[in-house]
Chains A and B, each alone.
Chain A
């Protein structure tokens, strides 16, 4: 492969190298883990931060965005961490759920329902501990994500996070919220990882919330869902970080046979956000549903990137992504379905739709199918449009004021994706966030 010669190292790239030099001795994990960090760091030295000449990052130039990389936060006591979480708000306040709390990338057992989860068959361990015990397996990623620069950067620095091991056939009585809170008083970097091992036949609903942050914060989070045979996993990821934040969030999904995963992402916050999902089918008769609800305005930049790898036959995947773009904001959708040569009877359907609310709103759409098997059903669709003036007039002609009518039509645009969520708790929380987004418009 011909690599573009690297230009001058950016300020942020220099800072990253210096940070690693300073931290490498103290980062958790045995020799094997240290080796994978060094390998990731070597790749970073080679390629730098991803930029617009790297195809996957064509629309989201992280190198250009990151002018500076803030330091990682020093450890805090539970009281200080709890205050950060409380300040960030609680979208699921009314929901009966277990809570696991990460603040600035560090797990706080004292703020989390570890014992209660243990009694339901879920073992929760801080990632720092698990890295020492389990080794580099925790950093392993599906082939389709192997070269991903953001995951690599996470591996270099990843100091903490969570490992959630759900025993076989466990059905949790209530959802588990994983709070990813960033402090709002000073910018920090994070490199956290959540590894969820859903045992055979288990059923769990995870509510991930990404909250807080301030100007210059750089959150790099990886959630790795390893779903065993017959397991059902719902992961609803709601990102509402502060406007000045740079957010890179990755969801990795690996599915064994007869499993079902529903990955729901709502991206509303952060000034620059890259939400990337990688799904790999390892066993037959599995299904993955990916739903995306993205709303951006002002100067926000949000990128939804996904790759679904049908590596085995007889699996179904459904992707439905809705994006609302207002003001000068920019939305990006890049979705790829890969069907490997022997993955016959694959059924993959991808749809992405965007609604542009202003003249200057911008949306880039890149759906791709790579099909190497001959007996498959795959399709993709992409649309981009504005509010239909005839619909608007109809509502106004019934007395509904223009702003309210527009709100109704944006909700209508999103409704198909909202209905697909299925889980009432998640629907209510997401609708609440959507409405408050809409009513925040001056």
Chain B
């Protein structure tokens, strides 16, 4: 599904090196967690997967279903099945949430050569998924993410993910800013999407999200490299001992 090979990347504007040789392979159906201290490059990795132009890949490659996506525009990656749930979902005043959802779903369908959704079919899908994620009609009537609480924004992200049905879900600190109830709703939403054909990369600082979204593999990212890989018990270990060991190790 996803193969990241010796990925080096820097900030385009000032040349600051962030990723220094990341290797990661995620097979279909697997859930991988990437943990690490602040500044280790976790969010950068997620942005690079989605195609943000603020970063420059200087070495290595990202293969998605066997093909390099480095030259693909963000919208092409999205249509191919890559979805990034943002750490800070963006508020866009003036863009109605429903208009946005419909534009996104139909743009992806069009890019894949599928027929656009009819309005009733679109509405039916939104209503079904929104109910499960406790996204109310009132929220959907508002401009995109505007006036949403932290928890509402994260639920709205997962709603988008459920509607767009990507094959690779990248969750960037989806647990940040969530109370325990909201965390459970979001995690249930993610778990519902788990399937043998769909892979998930969960980026998180804390172990608590992984109580709900149980990973197959846990990686520790530090100073732009994966410094340790293990099973789900690695997350518990990190929770107990902190990242100090790895910060030192990678230096």
Contacts and interface: CB of A to CB of B under 8 A. Distances in A.
Which among A390, A396, A409, A411 has the highest number of chain B CB atoms within 10 Å?
A: A396
Contacts of A415: 93-95
Given A397-B50, A397-B78, A398-B160, A408 B95 contact: yes
Contacts of B52: 393, 397
* A391, A393, A402, A415 interface centre (most CB from chain B within 10 Å): A393
A319 B12 CA distance: 41
B107 interface: yes
A437 interface: no
B75 A396 contact: yes
Contact of A396 (B54, B78, B160): B78
B104 interface: yes
B240 to A, nearest CB: 35
Interface stretch (B29-37, B56-64, B84-92, B197-205): B84-92
B51 A404 contact: no
A416 B54 CA distance: 30
B92 A398 contact: no
B103 to A, nearest CB: 5
A282 to B, nearest CB: 36
B94 A412 contact: yes
B73 interface: yes
Contact of B95 (A390, A396, A412): A412
Interface in B43-57: 50-54
B107 A401 contact: yes
Contacts of B108: 398-399
A411 B160 CA distance: 22
Contacts, number: 79
A405 B50 CA distance: 16
A372 interface: no
B74 interface: yes
Interface residues of A, number: 23
Contacts of A405: 75
A351 to B, nearest CB: 14
A413 interface: yes
A402 B75 contact: yes
A395 interface: yes
Contact of A399 (B78, B95, B143): B78
B92 A394 contact: yes
Contacts of A413: 94
B95 A404 contact: no
A409 B92 CA distance: 8
Contacts of A390: 90
Residue of A391, A411, A412, A414 with most partner-chain B CB within 10 A: A412
Nearest to B82: A397
B73 A396 contact: yes
Interface residues on B, range: 20 to 34
Contacts of B117: none
B111 interface: yes
B142 to A, nearest CB: 13
A400 interface: yes
Contacts of B229: none
Contact of A400 (B77, B89, B94, B107): B107
Given A402-B75, A408-B100, A415-B94, A397 B51 contact: yes
Contacts of B103: 400, 404, 408
B93 A404 contact: no
Given A394-B86, A394-B90, A402 B73 contact: yes
B164 interface: yes
Given A397-B78, A398-B160, A404 B107 contact: yes
A411 B94 CA distance: 7
B6 interface: no
A399 B77 CA distance: 8
A259 to B, nearest CB: 31
A409 to B, nearest CB: 8
B79 interface: yes
A348 B52 CA distance: 43
Nearest to A393: B52
B73 A398 contact: no
A414 B94 CA distance: 8
A398 B104 contact: yes
Most buried by B among A399, A405, A408, A416: A399
A340 B168 CA distance: 65
Contact of A398 (B53, B94, B164): B164
Contacts of B143: 412
Contacts of B164: 398-399
A415 B92 CA distance: 11
Contact of A397 (B84, B92, B99, B111): B84
A402 B105 CA distance: 15
B131 to A, nearest CB: 21
A78 B246 CA distance: 86
10 contacts: A397-B84, A398-B160, A398-B164, A399-B105, A400-B103, A404-B103, A404-B107, A408-B95, A415-B95, A416-B93
Interface of B: 50-54, 73-75, 77-79, 84, 86, 89-90, 92-95, 99-100, 103-105, 107-108, 111, 143, 160, 164
Interface of A: 389-391, 393-402, 404-405, 408-409, 411-416
Top 10 closest pairs, chain A to chain B, by CB: A412-B94, A415-B94, A399-B78, A399-B108, A396-B74, A398-B104, A394-B90, A396-B75, A399-B107, A412-B95
